[in-house]
Structure 1
Amino acid sequence: MRIVLLFCCVLAIPVADAATCNAVSGASRNSLLELYTSEGCSSCPPADRWLSHLPDDAGVVPLAFHVDYWDRLGWRDPFAQAAFSQRQRARNNGAGWVYTPQVMLDGQDYRAWQRGLPVRSTAPAPVRLALTLAQSADRMEVQADSRFDDPAAGHEAQLYLALTENRLSSEVTAGENARRVLHHDHVVRQLAGPFDPHHVRQRFRLQPGWKAADLGVTAFVLDARGATLQALALPGCP
């Protein structure tokens, strides 16, 4: 009961004319699922569709990172960022190779994604996460709080916040996917962190053209090896 009360008492974020919403992670650990993808890659659309259709009870929190190293081959992905290409290399332990589509599950290369996901673990999560959002027309204020069952586990842990958007599409006119309309969900618009996981406040500036009703925030805590301690997604509240 003390844990529940702690997370129910998350401080409100004062933002004028803003809608607010909140969420708390459950007792089990959610896995972080990262898809590295590109609109310039002809083998990526099946992975994009797979990510969009993951069931809510799969025990994973999905994120789609669009990389930019395909952009020079005829089509510039409007959702790609160089920082996400760098992240992919870093998550591969600095290895020189990268590929798309790459699915990473809890920081490990997961090539069996087309055959489904592993059975969801029921082991207790080492950390509980609480998220509070306050969303206005031009910004989203985020507060994230963590509680570790073992305080020592939080010493080297790091928390990240990802601003995401769903129901995106592009009419591709060049490159390997020319003359195709591509659809995407869980697309990372901005990634912030790493932060000390215990208490974080972050402001995201919303760009023109982003659809307020399709925005959301994902918080995830990684240990020193990059493995997932907990992940939590919260749709926006326009």
Structure 2
Amino acid sequence: MIRFLALFVSLLTLSAPAVFAETEESKPVLVELFANQNCAACPQAHKTMREVEASRDDVLILTWIVDYWDYLGEPDPMAMPESKERQASYAEQMGLRAPYTPQSIYNGVKECPGPRKRQVVKNIEKLSKAPTHPLLLSEAAGRISVSGEAEGAYHLVEVHYASPEAHDTDMVNPVMSMRVLDSMADAPHACIRYCVILLQSPETGEIAAFWQPET
């Protein structure tokens, strides 16, 4: 059964199959960590994300592996060009001097170094209590739609990440692929397991909502 939530719908963690539900007090937050195996500070960031995931039921964490540190050692086999492009867009949208690792992004609108657990938790708690977004997601029979009105353009991004059995790293939900869906209404998708569909502004980076299948 697919449960529909006003903003986030049936959000599951990878390690604990709990259904996230939005309440008047809080709603789930998407955390994106940008990292690389040649980044000296990244192991601590992965540790922080594992601890956060284990201690909270209001987050979905995705790890995007960039390739711009590959010259420091062996190329990271899980790096994707899309990861670098996505992080560069965030840097521009947030007015940052440049991307860095390990950088963590929260609902596309806040950021901080990934190892700083106190700041990580602060960002999550602040955004979990933010006002509900006017755009809503609904899914039925393999198709997803957006309803409601909001200023600016948005698009749907389908993201697939590795299952626990598919990798032996210490990363939380390493991303394997992404694609932008063709439409915003009754759009067919291939998100069945270990995946999420984001409703995101390409102009500001804001993630207004996200959906995961219940398994």
Please report the TM-score for the alignment, with normalisation by the length of structure 2.
0.70
1:139-162 deviation line (CA, Å, top 9, x unaligned): xxx5322232xx3x1761211110
What is the SS of the residue equivalent to 2:194?
strand
- Please list every run of 5 or more consecutive structure 2 residues that lacks an aligned counterpart in the other structure: 5-18
Identity %: 18
Are residue 160 (structure 1) and residue 157 (structure 2) matched? yes
What is the SS of the residue equivalent to 2:44?
helix
Q: 1:183 to 1:51 in 2, by over 3 A?
A: same
Q: 1:29, CA displacement in angstroms?
A: 4.7
The structure whose Rg is larger is 1
Q: Is the 8 A contact 1:131 1:143 kept in 2?
A: yes
What is the SS of the residue equivalent to 2:158?
strand
1:168-197 deviation line (CA, Å, top 9, x unaligned): 545xxxxxxxxxxx4222111111116433
What is the SS of the residue equivalent to 1:46?
helix
Q: 1:121 to 1:231 in 2, by over 3 A?
A: same
Alignment of 1:197-236 (within 5 A): 197-203=184-190, 215-223=193-201, 224-234=203-213
Counterpart for residue 104 of structure 1: 105
Distance 1:161 1:200 in 2: 11
Q: 1:26, CA displacement in angstroms?
A: 4.2
What is the SS of the residue equivalent to 2:196?
strand
What is the SS of the residue equivalent to 2:30?
strand
Counterpart for residue 207 of structure 1: none
- Please list every run of 5 or more consecutive structure 1 residues that lacks an aligned counterpart in the other structure: 5-22, 134-141, 171-181, 205-211
What is the SS of the residue equivalent to 1:129?
strand
Are residue 126 (structure 1) and residue 121 (structure 2) matched? no
Please report the TM-score for the alignment, with normalisation by the length of structure 1.
0.64
Distance 2:187 2:28 in 1: 20
Within the candidate set 31, 45, 51, 1:47 is matched to 45
Q: 1:35, CA displacement in angstroms?
A: 0.5
2:198 aligned partner, one-letter code = F
- Which is helix-richer, 1 or 2? 2
- Which is strand-richer, 1 or 2? 1
Aligned residues between the structures: 186
Q: What RMSD over aligned residues (CA atoms) do the two structures have, in Å? A: 3.3
